[in-house]
Chains A and B, each alone.
Chain A
Amino acid sequence: MKRWQWIAISLLTVASLVVEFNIEHGDHWWSSIPAFYILFGFAGCTAIIFFSKTLGKLFLQREEDYYDVE
């Protein structure tokens, strides 16, 4: 990740926050939480990664020749 890419992302984030605080909100319970979608994206992604990996390690992942007794 190059430096300019990080700068671009930060600018985008700031722009989105500016927009967020200047427009009408939706009428859901989460609409009043500031930067909700930032948290949602970050936490959601993390949760999915950890949940899936755990599920895989515990139950689901097997060697490639698992079914090959046929």
Chain B
Amino acid sequence: MWSDLFTIPALPMIVGAIILPLLPKSLRSTTFLLFPLISLAIVWTLPDGTLVAVEFMRYTLIVCKVDQLSRVFGIIFAFIAFAGGIYSFHIRETGQQVAALVYAGCAIGITFAGDLLTLVMFWELMAIASAYLVWARRTADSERAGMRYLLVHLFGGSMLLGGILLHVAETGSLEIIRLSESGTLASWLILGGVALNAAVPPLHAWLADAYPRATITGAVFLSAFTTKSAVYVLARMFPGMEILLIFGVIMTLYGVVFAVLANDIREVLAYHIISQVGYMVAGIGIGTEMALNGAVAHAYSHILYKALLFMGAGVVLHTTGTSKFSGLGGLAKSQPVTLWLFMVGAFSISGFPLFNGFISKSMIVSAAGEAHVDTAMLLLMLASVGTFLSIGLKIPALTWFGADRDIAVTKPPVNMHVAMVVVAVLCFVYGVVPSLLYNMLPYSVTYEPYTAYHLMETVQILVFTFVAFWMLRSKFVSHPTITLDTDWFYRKPAGFLRRLVVDSLGQVFDWVEEKIMIGVKKIAIRARNPLTFARNLQAVNPASSERADFDPDVYRPPAELLIALILLGVVALFGMIVLL
């Protein structure tokens, strides 16, 4: 049974995270690459139906369950951790390396989790590890953004946990099951928690807030794991829910609109994560075999080309010191390699033939067509237009072409380009030989992307998006602005709310304490010498009234008064006995 634990794919990553700080500094970057490869090997070789169960508390936890769906996610997660490791080879900060390993390990853990408790444990730990990658940037901005990110994610995690607690109470089982038709509070809470990680509006604002502020290498990891592991869970637990189709389509367009306004390369890319995940969510919402295949294929492709795009943006940030369009332009001459590797990613995301976006995105769009949700299909195509616009046209235009601001450019470490080449090659390979990807998908594939119709459609859309962009290119001047998003609702009132709730609550208790102290003082004065009630204490100086009533030399009750009181007491006592 113990040896079974070694077949858990997430284990090498977690163990690696623990081992890494203990190694000498010079070996860490190289050893880092080892662990994702081990995980990848395990995922590749584990047969379908493998089950690793552990007795824990009162439950039987299934910490590893393998099938087609989890395997394909596991493969790409492990691979991209490897590629990210190459990209961040030059990083000397152990914390980031450990965090990245834990982060990737948790994502893989979520993928292979067979029960809800394992799922939520990895979920929560993943939030911390990913928050580290935001904080590690070490600016005042990123410190606050990291805390916002963490709190939002812990909130999502608490929705998930709450839903799971309810679910377990209702059904008595921790098993991960399809909840699409459930409709109970428990399943809505679980859906809410998962949707937050998938960046479904209005729970998406954390993505565009945190990702542009993360470290250069951390952003590559961030782009892959949080959202796609959530997509996996959606595909597993909520396929075919119509609400997902609606929200998915909204997401695709939402991301596109905001990307047009964004002033930072990584912010554009972040909003396009939302947009592309929208395709996946919509595909899951449609729920047919082809749609689910498409969602999975698109997740796979997206991890590859989005990482590539973030890598490119990271190189720009590393070499120029800024990722804001208002500070960039005219870099084509000084960074042609970066530019063209970035463009591979841009072509992929835009769905150019010969790249992996073409073979995956269109599967979802076609699935929408086959399921006869024509409006959705059109809107998804519209989002493609916007994608090419922002990433294939706007970013290069403002970063590498356009006004030459004569920016000082340093040379990037060679491993960054190596990583980009590795990923770019894969984008191309999958685009040219789609069956390599199709064979890994959970359902059998009858889709053929390279049809004349599809090529015609793609060429016409892309060419004329370009034409429209060219004619309106004067609109794409960069301004140093920010765009408000739904996080306005908790960021703007934050200071005011804090004063209202936190400070005032403390003040209430302080006020009560003060009033009581005053009351107690007054009683204490009287209590010292109760006969001040009997005698009319019209003292004297209010300032010295305290002394006035407690000066034993001045005020001593006369013996007669005391005897009178005693006699009064005796009479009262006998009176009570007689009367009662």
Total A-B contacts with CB atoms under 8 angstroms apart: 137
Q: How far is the CB of B144 from chain A (nearest CB, A)?
A: 7
- Binding site of A, secondary structure by majority: helix, strand, loop or mixed? helix
Given the known interface contacts A45-B469, A46-B468, A48-B389, the answer about A61 and B261 at a Cβ–Cβ threshold of 8 Å is yes
Q: Are B475 and A37 in contact (CB under 8 A)?
A: no
Check if B500 is an interface residue, CB within 8 A of chain A: no
Q: Which residue of B lies closest to A46 (CB)?
A: B468
Chain B residues with CB below 8 A from A30, complex form:
378
Check if B483 is an interface residue, CB within 8 A of chain A: yes
Q: Are A59 and B484 in contact (CB under 8 A)?
A: yes
Q: Are B260 and A52 in contact (CB under 8 A)?
A: yes
Chain B residues with CB below 8 A from A29, complex form:
374
Interface residues of B in 480-511 (CB under 8 A from A): 480-485, 491-492, 494-495
Q: Which residue of B lies closest to A70 (CB)?
A: B495
Q: Are A38 and B464 in contact (CB under 8 A)?
A: yes
Q: Are A53 and B260 in contact (CB under 8 A)?
A: yes
Q: Are A9 and B260 in contact (CB under 8 A)?
A: no
Q: How far is the CB of A15 from chain B (nearest CB, A)?
A: 8
Chain B residues with CB below 8 A from A46, complex form:
468, 472
Contact with A along B360-381 (1 / 0, CB 8 A): 0000000001000010011001
Chain B residues with CB below 8 A from A23, complex form:
452-453, 456
Chain A residues with CB below 8 A from B386, complex form:
44-45, 48
Q: Are B462 and A20 in contact (CB under 8 A)?
A: no
In the bound complex, CA of A29 to CA of B389 (Å)? 26
In the bound complex, CA of A51 to CA of B389 (Å)? 14
Q: Are A61 and B482 in contact (CB under 8 A)?
A: yes
Chain A residues with CB below 8 A from B389, complex form:
45, 48-49
Q: Are B482 and A45 in contact (CB under 8 A)?
A: no
Contact with B along A1-29 (1 / 0, CB 8 A): 10000000100110110011001111011
Interface residues of B in 107-146 (CB under 8 A from A): 144
Q: How far is the CB of B151 from chain A (nearest CB, A)?
A: 14
Q: Which 6 A-B pairs have the closest CB atoms?
A: A41-B464, A37-B460, A45-B468, A52-B260, A41-B461, A44-B385
A-B contact pairs, 6 of them (CB 8 A): A13-B460, A16-B460, A23-B456, A28-B369, A38-B463, A42-B464
